[in-house]
């Protein structure tokens, strides 16, 4: 089963940029729905097209997926109210499956999240589970991928920890003991591509967990060491973590931590299932083999840029 024209819904973010590049490299034509058209990462992809679209409008969504061989549903938000989570994670997948059914697009790959469950502690996890349920009930040729925390050179996860330790004398951490199995963004993208290429992935819900398990505190310390700004990292009790998150929610600018994030960290983000290598045809890369190099290069590249700018003056 080979789909040639793919519609990415939610594809202009971190994972979507990597996925679009892999799809194009495999010969697919890719339509990326986005609220913005000024995204330089996509201009260099010869068979990728950015289309401005209100994906929450059922009519616009139906016209967007029309003529495609497959759709990839990958919208996700980390912060917001319960209503905002439901709109992005539960209601939108329902609209996507309805649009696909209406336009005869049978193949759908849905990116959810490891830990999604209706009895989970956070709105994020609960609404992700509702989205999975909508996809499973759709009657389409679906595959669901559930990645653990996703890392990569341009992530907002390890880079955030590295940046905070550059600025702060110490790092107080909510959910410090939460266990995670980080998965490389290129492996998540490859998993989507393999789903499109492999019929045996239809009707499967697959956990994407990396081969190594860390606590959140260990990941923060790794980011600090690798970037050359190692600081003391210590865990906060839940009450203080919730207070810290409430304060961070009220600060201007992007939210780094919310109370719903803290609730998510009450559950380990690991899988009791092995990585589905038999279905996907590959094994995932280890964080320890990749992250130190690119985190260390982060400051070296910044220093080199400053040196070139100084020399040009």
Task: Check residue 25 and give its pLDDT.
Answer: 93
Q: Which residue has the tokens 């609730």?
A: 263
User: Cβ atoms within 10 A of the Cβ of 296, count?
Assistant: 15
- DSSP-derived pairing of the beta strands 179-180 and 214-215: antiparallel
14: containing domain: 5-150+184-210+271-284
**In a 3-state reduction of DSSP, which class is residue 32?**
strand
Task: Check residue 50 and give its pLDDT.
Answer: 85
23 found inside a domain = yes
pTM of the model: 0.91
Name, in order, each residue with C-beta under 8 angstroms of 201's C-beta and a sequence gap of 6 or more. 143, 194, 195, 279, 280
222 found inside a domain = no
CB-count exposure of residue 180 (10 Å: 0-12, 13-18, 19+): buried
**Number of domains, the chain:** 1
CB-count exposure of residue 121 (10 Å: 0-12, 13-18, 19+): middle
Rounded to an integer, what distance in angstroms lies between the CA atom of residue 179 and that of residue 119?
A: 19
53 found inside a domain = yes
CATH number of domain containing 84 = 3.40.50.720
The sign of the dihedral angle between the CA atoms of 94, 96, 97, 102 is positive
Phi, psi of 36 (to 5 degrees): -120, 145
48 found inside a domain = yes
291 found inside a domain = no
298 found inside a domain = no
Task: Check residue 174 and give its pLDDT.
Answer: 96
pLDDT in tens, the chain (313 residues): 455 999 999 988 899 999 999 999 999 999 998 776 666 676 667 888 888 889 999 999 999 999 999 999 999 999 999 999 999 999 999 999 999 999 999 999 999 999 999 999 999 999 999 999 999 999 999 999 999 999 998 899 999 999 999 999 999 999 999 999 999 999 999 999 999 999 999 999 999 999 999 999 999 999 999 989 999 999 999 999 999 999 999 988 888 899 999 999 999 999 999 999 999 999 999 999 887 677 766 544 444 344 334 433 4
31 found inside a domain = yes
87 found inside a domain = yes
Long-range contacts of 43-47 (CB under 8 A, 24+ apart): 45/20, 45/21
Contact by Cβ (8 Å): 67, 105:
no
């Amino acid at each position: 089963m080979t789909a040639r024209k793919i519609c990415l819904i939610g594809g202009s973010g971190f994972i979507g940029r990597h996925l679009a590049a892999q799809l194009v490299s495999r010969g697919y034509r890719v339509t990326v729905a986005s609220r913005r058209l000024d995204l330089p990462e996509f201009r260099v992809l010869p068979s990728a097209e950015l289309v401005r679209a209100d994906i929450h409008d059922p009519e616009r969504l139906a016209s967007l997926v029309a003529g495609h061989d497959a759709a990839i549903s990958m919208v996700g938000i980390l912060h917001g109210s319960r209503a905002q989570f439901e709109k992005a994670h539960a209601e939108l997948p329902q609209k996507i499956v309805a649009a696909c059914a209406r336009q005869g697009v049978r193949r759908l790959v849905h990116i959810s999240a490891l830990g999604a469950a209706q009895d989970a502690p956070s709105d994020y996890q609960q609404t992700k589970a509702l989205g999975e349920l909508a996809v499973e009930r759709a009657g389409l040729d679906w595959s669901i991928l559930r990645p653990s925390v996703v890392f990569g050179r341009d992530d907002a996860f390890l880079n955030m920890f590295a940046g905070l330790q550059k600025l702060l004398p110490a790092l107080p951490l909510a959910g410090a003991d939460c266990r995670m199995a980080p998965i490389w963004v290129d492996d998540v993208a490859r998993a989507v591509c393999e789903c499109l290429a492999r019929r045996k992935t239809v009707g499967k819900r697959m956990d994407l967990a990396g081969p190594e398990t860390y606590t959140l505190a260990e990941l923060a310390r790794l980011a600090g060491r690798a970037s050359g700004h190692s600081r003391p990292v210590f865990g906060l009790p839940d009450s203080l973590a919730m207070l810290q998150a409430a304060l961070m929610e009220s600060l201007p600018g992007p939210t780094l931590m919310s109370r719903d994030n803290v609730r998510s960290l009450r559950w380990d983000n690991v899988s009791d299932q092995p990585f589905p290598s038999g279905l996907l045809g590959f094994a995932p890369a280890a964080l320890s083999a990749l992250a130190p190099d690119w985190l260390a290069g982060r400051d070296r590249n910044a220093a080199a840029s400053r040196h070139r700018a100084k020399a040009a003056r």
